[in-house]
Structure 1
Amino acid sequence: MKKTKLMQLPKGFLFDFDGVIVNSFQSHRSAWESAFKELFHKELPAFPMELAGASPYKIAEYYASTVGKENQFKDLYFLKDEHLNKFFKVPELLPGIREITFFLKENNTPYGIASNATRQFLKNSIYHLNIDFETYFGVQDYKKPKPAPEAYITLANKLGFTVSDFKDIWVFEDSLTGTTAAKLAGMVPIGILTQYSDSELREAGSQFIFPTVLEAFEYLKTHVTQK
């Protein structure tokens, strides 16, 4: 029987939030719908796939443009953020998150979240889902959100890593936007199949692909030497 070849556990693990840790589509959609209706008195248009993983600023610009109100995109952004908190809907926790955070803690491996979602949404979700993430950054924490690499560089620096460590850091991403950010940061993008296909994620730069974080956790258990 062929023996599994072991590799060293990566130095750190960085996570996107929406589509990797949680399914939050309904949480965001309902907040966009109510904010859009309050501000423009119209129904919200369909969400364009090309904006998956984009910052809420970009999404607000798009929605405002659909009714010819580009100059009010900031009003829409802030109102959506207000509705997201006021009418907070707990997102659905995706498979493998509790398992992998326990595994990383057990192996003294730093990890955290860098998301294009707002910091308050991350805080609310982490609290209500009772998941073990002490370090997290939201869109307000960067000058340039994803696809720029700043989000992941900011998180890696906070976790104590230097640039020389980046090539040994895994980044879990489900969007092309976030995969590009991880690649530009010089880290290892790991694709999660909640939005895009295997081929699309690989083309964007993902070096491994898993259906969810649960399969990534199972892979790590059998393929890495633990500390």
Structure 2
Amino acid sequence: MKNKFAFPTGILFDFDGVVVDSFQSHFNAWNQAHIELFSTKIKEFPNEKLSGKSPHIIAQYFCDKAGYSEKGLDFFQLKAKYLHTSTIPPFLLPGVVEIQDFLSENKIPHGISSNATRLFVKNSIQQLNLGFTTFFGLEDYKYPKPHPEAYITLAKHLKIPKENYMNTWVFEDSITGTKSALDAGMIPIGILTMNSEKQMLEAGSQIVFSTLLEAYKYLKNLEL
């Protein structure tokens, strides 16, 4: 793959679908909460409709489907309880350790900004023994993705100057998160966990990789 970028001044990561495959973790928690609250299992999770969305939006979707629109907050909180008490970590995706070690060694500002809860991200990082020390979750912004606040909040914390946003990479697997990165004035880099290359490029990704492992190899070939 021919290099088309200068070395980034900062790298920001989404969490679900980029660092970890957490679908089963989230689905199990949603399902447990659904059984407790509505006495039925969730039949399916519409990824295309809900991928990357705030868990508040996901909770409201299932409550509307169940005929209990007023239960959105209760459902969200119950799902969070099941998610946060799980001792089974999500599945670590390829290249995460390599790229995080590389960025740390080269003192490149980096961190995680997720629409998942902060506690889920924190627990997962600890369970998987990852090296990320800077991470933000749903509670840390007024407006979750697709609003740009999530990535702007992280960039400010990492002390990335606004004039460097145009050379700040954002690894995202969802259309929702890609819009957040674009609207923050950053460079969205697609990870093909959920969507096709065509879908991610059409959404605004400037380049795509199958996993962070391929992205890591690409970065190593760029001049620092």
| Same-fold status (TM-score > 0.5) | yes
Q: Could you tell me how far 1:45 is from its partner in structure 2? A: 3.1
For 1:169 and 1:61, how far apart are their aligned partners in 2?
33
- Matched with 1:124 is 123
- Matched with 1:13 is 11
TM-score (norm 1): 0.95
SS, match of residue 66 in structure 2: coil
Distance change in 2, residues 1:166/1:5 (3 Å): closer
- Matched with 1:178 is 177
Q: Could you tell me how far 1:174 is from its partner in structure 2? A: 0.2
* 8 Å Cα contact 1:153/1:185 also seen in 2: yes
SS, match of residue 36 in structure 2: helix
TM-score (norm 2): 0.96
Matches within 5 A, 1:133-212: 133-212=132-211
Amino acid in the other structure paired with 2:94: P
Q: Could you tell me how far 1:14 is from its partner in structure 2? A: 0.2
Distance change in 2, residues 1:115/1:30 (3 Å): same
Q: Could you tell me how far 1:162 is from its partner in structure 2? A: 2.2
Q: Could you tell me how far 1:72 is from its partner in structure 2? A: 0.3
Q: Could you tell me how far 1:8 is from its partner in structure 2? A: 3.3
- Matched with 2:112 is 113
Q: Could you tell me how far 1:105 is from its partner in structure 2? A: 1.1
Q: Could you tell me how far 1:9 is from its partner in structure 2? A: 1.5
Distance change in 2, residues 1:6/1:54 (3 Å): closer
For 1:66 and 1:38, how far apart are their aligned partners in 2?
16
For 1:43 and 1:5, how far apart are their aligned partners in 2?
47
Question: C-alpha offsets along residues 78-118 of structure 1, whole Å, 9 cap, x if unaligned?
Answer: 00000111234200100001100111111110000000000
For 1:165 and 1:8, how far apart are their aligned partners in 2?
12
Matches within 5 A, 1:63-102: 63-102=62-101
- Matched with 1:37 is 35
SS, match of residue 45 in structure 2: coil
Q: CA RMSD in A?
A: 1.2
Amino acid in the other structure paired with 1:33: N
Amino acid in the other structure paired with 1:125: S
For 2:93 and 2:63, how far apart are their aligned partners in 1?
31
For 1:119 and 1:101, how far apart are their aligned partners in 2?
19
SS, match of residue 40 in structure 2: coil
* 8 Å Cα contact 1:112/1:135 also seen in 2: yes
**Structure 2 unaligned blocks of 5 or more:** none
Q: Which moves more between the two structures, 168-177 or 38-47?
A: 38-47
* 8 Å Cα contact 2:109/2:160 also seen in 1: no
* 8 Å Cα contact 1:11/1:165 also seen in 2: yes
For 1:187 and 1:170, how far apart are their aligned partners in 2?
6
- Matched with 2:215 is 216
For 2:181 and 2:13, how far apart are their aligned partners in 1?
10
Pairing 1:23–2:13 present: no
Distance change in 2, residues 1:164/1:91 (3 Å): same
For 1:26 and 1:12, how far apart are their aligned partners in 2?
30
Identity in percent = 51
Runs ≥4 residues deviating over 3 A? 4-8
* 8 Å Cα contact 1:31/1:83 also seen in 2: yes
* 8 Å Cα contact 1:7/1:225 also seen in 2: no
